[in-house]
Structure formats: C-alpha cells, structure tokens
Amino acid sequence: MGILNLDAFTTSRLSAERLTPAHRGEIARMHQDPDVMEHLGGVRNAEQTEEYLERNLAHWDRYGYGLWMLRRPEGGELVGRAVLRHLTLEDRDELETGYAFYRPYWGRGLATEVARRCVRMAFEILAAESVVGLTLPANHASQRVLIKTGMSRDREVRHAGALHVLLRVTRTAWSAGG
C-alpha cells in the first residue's frame, strides 16, 4: 500500500483540514464556548487548550491522522472539528471518532455526515476492526448521531473522570449495513 495521506477530506457539505499549530486560536475559541464544550468536559483554560493541541498534534505525527478542522466550502468559515484517534479505554487501544460544532451548525446533519466519513475512513483506509464513540449519558443528540453511523451501545465506561456511554461499530457490522 502507498503512503496514506489523510491531511484533508471532504463530505458533501464540509471541507476538513489537518490540525496544525496555526489552528491554536480557533481551538482556544472553541474551548471557551460553553455551548461547544457543554458535553466535552466544560470550558478549558489556556493551559488545558495548549495541552489538548499538543496531544492532538503529536497524534498526527505518530499516526498520520487525527483531528481535522471543519469548514463550509462556500465562504470557508470554520464550523467545527472532527477526530479519528487512538484512545486507551480500560487498558485497550480503541479507535475513536468524534466531532464538535458551533451552535449555529447544530441540527443540520453535519455531525452525522462527518462521523460517517470518519468511520468509513477507519474501515476502508486504516483497516480498523472497530470504531468507538464516547458520549456523556445525557448527550442523547450525540448518541443518535453515532447510532446513525451504524454504532450501537456497547457499555458504560469511566473516561476522563466521568461516566460515558461507549458506542461501537465493528467492521463486520458496518460492511453488512454500510
């Protein structure tokens, strides 16, 4: 197989670009937005944001994929972010997908669109055996998005000091329904 280049991708309504240090200001803006961060651990300070950025840049360096910033192609404004990354849960390496959007872009199907694309890349490009999504128990909207990607509830897990719902789709289940 040739060198994988996941620096950018598109969906029908979004353009995704690899996270770079130039996105520092946008990540900080997202982390200060209480709507964006409501189900992501709450608003983050500058130190937490810098740690998040460095951790996600290191993931890119190690794996060649990770967090993407999302834009609307017409106009180019940043509307959110998406991720496909390794995550250790209960001493097991999982491949997680996730997303976050500014409030004006909620309820438009964009999260489902980008989550489906991330799951597809995980199976078709990365040859993953399964993909997971994590949500807080109260985040029913995100659980619905993940179910639309083909995931089903796996179990509850502790992550980052809080109880989360873990959803999963396997390669076999995705192939049968995807």
Its pTM stands at 0.89
Radius of gyration from C-alpha coordinates of the chain: 15
Ordered by where they begin, the domains of the chain are 8-128 (3.40.630.30)
12-29 tens-digit pLDDT: 999 999 999 998 888 888
59-96 tens-digit pLDDT: 999 999 999 999 998 878 899 999 999 999 988 999 99
For 30, counting Cβ atoms within 10 Å of its Cβ (0-12 exposed, 13-18 middle, 19+ buried), the class is buried
The arrangement of strands across the sheet holding 15-18 comes to 8-10, 15-18, 67-71, 78-89, 92-101, 130-135, 162-170, 152-159
Q: How many CB atoms lie within 10 A of CB 101?
A: 22
